[in-house]
Homo-oligomer: A and B are copies of this chain.
């Protein structure tokens, strides 16, 4: 049995953060498919057996069962000894970017993409405009930072990069952004991440069927 099991599905960028970390660390792991779009995470059996909060991803490692991608990334960095912090100052800097990611970067972009291409009904135009303004604000901060240095903490990649990269490898038709044109700093950074040993995209690393909403 593999060392790590990750409950996930291919559309979840939050699950991809954990899957990408496992892939980049080149450890022995297996995905466990969660049938999110058919309501599996809302069923009481699943909530009891896997995660009371109904959220994906969930990582199993020995008798540990962890949820929240940022918790999983922090745990994996410590346990495996890769992509983590070398000092308290670096630990603060990684946490700063992971909180920014959860507060403003992934959070708004993931919701925007879901309403843009995956939800059965498109998002209300006022809601989409509200979300896009916030996505653009968060992207501008990261784009400026990444135009000046290869990775978020400087010269080497860390779990901060893995966290912010969660939704950045989904294709343009899912969200409408062409980063090479709109955000060259972000685009160059995603290309650098693609060049790391072990890198694979979300649809390659995690199970499930790719689709766009039929409306």
List the B side residues contacting A68 at CB < 8 Å. Answer: 95-96, 99-100
Q: Which residues of chain B are within 8 angstroms of A75 by Cβ–Cβ distance?
A: 92
A69 to B92, CA, bound (A): 11
Q: Which residues of B contact A190 (CB under 8 A)?
A: none
Interface residue? A196 (CB, 8 A): no
CA distance A103 to B98 in the complex (A): 10
> CA A114 – CA B53 in complex, angstroms?
27
Scan residues 69-90 of chain A and give those whose CB is less than 8 A from a CB of chain B: 69-71, 74-75, 78, 88
Which B-chain residue is minimally distant from A94 (CB atoms)?
Answer: B71
Q: Across the two chains, which residue of chain B brings its CB closest to A98?
A: B99
Residues from chain B with a CB closer than 8 A to the CB of A130 are 124, 127, 130
Assembly CA distance A70 to B126 (angstroms): 31
Asked whether B71 lies within 8 Å of A95 as measured between CB atoms, the reply is: yes
Interface contact B99-A70, CB-CB below 8 Å: yes
When the two chains form their complex, are residues B102 and A74 in contact, meaning their CB atoms are under 8 A apart? no
Interface residue? A147 (CB, 8 A)? no
Determine how close the nearest CB of chain B comes to the CB of A88; give it in whole angstroms.
8
CB pair A141–B92 under 8 Å, yes or no, is: no
- 5 pairs, CB–CB < 8 Å, chain A vs chain B: A66-B92, A68-B96, A98-B99, A103-B106, A127-B130
Which residues of A are interface residues toward B (Cβ below 8 A)? Answer: 53, 66-71, 74-75, 78, 88, 92, 95-96, 98-100, 102-104, 106-107, 124-127, 130, 141
